[in-house]
Structure 1
Amino acid sequence: MDGGGRVVQSLSGGYGLRPPAALGIAPRAAFAPARVLLRGERARRGPTRWTLHFAKPAPRGLGLTLAAALLAGVTAYGAERGGEYQAFVAREGGVGDYAARALGFGVSAVTISGQSQLSENEILALAGVDGKTSLPFYDAGRARKNLEAQPLIKQAGVRKLYPDRIVIDIVERTPAGLWQKDGEISAVAADGTAIDTMRDKYQALPFVVGEGANAHLDEYQALLDASAELRPRIVAGVRVGDRRWTLKMRSGVDVELPEVDPLAAMATLLTEERQSRLLERDILSVDLRVPGRVFVRLSEEAAAARDAAKPKKVAQ
């Protein structure tokens, strides 16, 4: 760390950009000649904007004659020694990239903004930026498509700034709920897009179950917002026939809501609970699908107790 609070770390051993496996301070012996400065401390949460710089940019000013000679030499060598040429490409990239870097068009800075869920290394990998990248042969359009194919990224922009800089701007999707389908649980965005697998950090998100439940997450959220003091007792919302909701209560009681105006049914449930503690009784379900009516299904024990309490006919 230098006097300005910046972390200095080696990202490559050449003129490219090879991000480390994890951000940290490497021993002095591990530093290669080319170094990168990470400007500013990355916040643990919230979108960030950061720029990677080489302390020693790629050398410039080599003549076209040298580049042409290099190109011809490498090509001839590759034609003669096919296996060695493939090894050269794997190590240095294509001949065009190699020549462009020799002319000073290697990537010496990458600026990324809008990122919070994904790591810098993940973004660089998706964008296809590494130590073999050169600006003339870098396909910004393909990089944008690759970034937007990642479910966490809603929108991406990639720009090339000559001679040696790439700018990546992204808009991430934010996890808004958990969705269970066929036994698998995914974190989903507000638009229903599955963006991640289940992780501990998502446990507090609203939980919906069933076909189409993810696409109606906003409806379930509205029901939760209207549930007042019942909200901590609601475990999940089950989408039934992709038409209506059944609420799963922590006590095990099912609350069946109507397809039309479920918010009015929620208001009825609140009234019943406040007046008679309906959900604390020995019941299995509350059916609110008929407007203005409340049907309750008793547990087997409660039903047996009710039957036993009924007056019995006296034989004459």
Structure 2
Amino acid sequence: MDGGGRLVGSVGVAGSLLLVDPPGRLRLPAFAFLGKTDRTQARPAGRFREPRFTERALSRHWPAMAFVIGVLASSALYGARVGGEYDAFVSHYGTPADIAARLAGFEIDTVTISGIDQLNRQEVLDASGVSERNSLLLLNAAEVRNRLEAVPLVRDVAVRKLFPNSLYFDITERKAAAIWQKNGQLSVVAADGVAIDEVHDARFNALPFIVGPAANEHLKEFTDLIDAAGDLRDRIKAGVYVGERRWTLQMDTGVELMLPEVDPKGALAQFASLEREAKLLDKDVLTLDLRLPGRITARLSEDAAAARAAMLAKRPKKAMTE
């Protein structure tokens, strides 16, 4: 007995002390020393349990546990994909990998676009497919470039990732070079023949006008003809690509100038020289055929043909001799 009426004694071989409070209720000490008196081994009494799985047992069972976890995760992912939940999640938040990259500090904060004139910023962003769901770390610059180069107005583009948070587009636009009519549809085409856009207003009326299937692919030939026309340059209103092999020029007087397949520039230059003297374009003719070298064949209008027939009818006929 101590002075407080408690019994102090040694209990068992573990070296633990058992305290008894009146009226005889047992109380364990704050710490029980099991087997060793080293205080560094002390554990809270009543909280120590022998682990059900030791480290050795855990390492032995871990492959099976990993397999089960993988199967469950795969099943959950498959179910989400089939049900559409995964696609909806990615559409709204991005892929799990992009989410992790953004959390790591690689979100896209700034997109700089240079070189645009006919396009606007939102059109470029929409075409690029880049949004707040992407991360700069996992963004495929080649795919973004391919998407932008698919835009008719874009001739070339450079895409640069500036870590950690900036993206840069350097765009070279196609310039409108002509208006192309095909099957009644009018399109604005670039110098390389690519159709840029439909014609919506009169702002492109001053551009050269070409007509016919594949005429856009031979635009360079037509512009070369215009350059070779000399004084007739401003009188050419349109070029019709006939049979996908030669050009017929529509002049401002309505006369059609039929050029040869071979050396059309040479034939046009010769006609320009003749036109300065003969003023054939001001005659009452429908077509002037230059397809035969050194020869021009004219087809008169109906009125001109009728007048010519009447004039020839009035000419005296030569007497017939026996």
Pair in the same fold by TM > 0.5:
yes
Give the match's secondary structure for 1:169: strand
User: 1-side partners of 2:115 and 2:220: how far apart?
Assistant: 25
2-side partners of 1:83 and 1:291: how far apart? 71
* Higher mean displacement: 289-298 or 199-208: 199-208
Helix, strand or coil at the partner of 2:160: strand
Give the equivalent residue in structure 2 for 1:221.
223
Separation of aligned partners in 2, 1:142 and 1:208:
35
Equivalent residue for 2:174? Answer: 173
Counterpart residue number, 2:103? 102
In 1, are the aligned partners of 2:181 and 2:212 still within 8 Å (CA)?
A: yes
Superposed, which structure 2 residues align to 1:31-70 within 5 Å?
none
CA distance in structure 1 between the partners assigned to 2:237 and 2:177 by the alignment:
16
Report how many residues are paired: 241
% identical equivalent positions: 50
The correspondence for 2:288, drawn from 263, 286, 289, is 286
Query: 1:136 maps to which residue?
Result: 137
**Aligned AA for 1:183?**
G
TM superposition score normalised by structure 1 = 0.69
Q: Please state whether the residue corresponding to 1:258 is helix, strand or coil.
A: coil
Higher relative CO (Cα under 8 Å, sequence separation at least 6) belongs to 1
Q: Identify if the C-alpha distance between structure 1 residues 223 and 85 changes in structure 2 by more than 3 Å, giving closer, same or farther.
A: closer
2:258 counterpart residue number: 256
Equivalent residue for 1:120?
A: 121
Deviation at 1:315, TM superposition (A): 8.8
Point out the more displaced range, 181-190 or 225-234. Answer: 225-234
Change (3 A) 1:86 1:262: closer
What does the per-residue CA deviation read over 1:107-158, in whole Å, with 9 as the maximum and x for residues that have no partner?
A: 1111222222211111111212222221123221211111111122222221
Tell me how far apart the structure 2 counterparts of residues 215 and 88 of structure 1 sit (CA, whole Å).
45
Q: Which amino acid aligns with 1:217?
A: L
Q: Decide which moves more: 265-274 or 306-315.
A: 306-315
Structure-2 residue corresponding to 1:277: 279
CA RMSD of superposed structures (Å): 2.6
Show the counterpart of 2:156: 155
**Offset at 1:226?**
2.3
Secondary structure of residue in 1 paired with 2:115: strand
Secondary structure in structure 1 of the residue aligned to 2:134: coil
The match for 1:62 is none
The whole-number CA distance in structure 2 between the counterparts of 1:181 and 1:210 is 5
AA in 1 matched with 2:317? K
SS of residue in 1 equivalent to 2:111: strand
- Quote the residue 1:17 is aligned against: none
Gap runs ≥5 in structure 1: 1-74
Cα deviation digits, residues 240-263 of structure 1 (max 9, x gap): 122211001232211001111212
Residue from 209, 212, 215 that aligns with 2:211: 209
Note the C-alpha offset of 1:85. 6.4
Deviation at 1:84, TM superposition (A): 7.1
1:235 Cα deviation after fit: 1.6
Instruction: Tell me which of 235, 238, 249 is aligned to 2:237.
Output: 235
Q: Distance in 2 between matches of 1:304 and 1:86?
A: 76
SS in 1 for 2:253: coil
Tell me the amino acid that sits aligned with residue 227 of structure 2: D
Larger Rg: 2
Using the TM superposition, give the Cα deviation of residue 161 of structure 1 relative to its aligned residue in structure 2, in angstroms: 1.8
CA distance in 2, matches of 1:194, 1:100: 40
The letter for the 1-side match of 2:129 is: G
Higher-helix-fraction structure: 2
Unaligned runs of 5+ in 2: 1-72
Q: Paired residue for 1:313?
A: 317
Separation in structure 1 between the aligned mates of residue 310 and residue 84 of structure 2, nearest angstrom: 89
Q: Distance in 1 between matches of 2:273 and 2:85?
A: 79
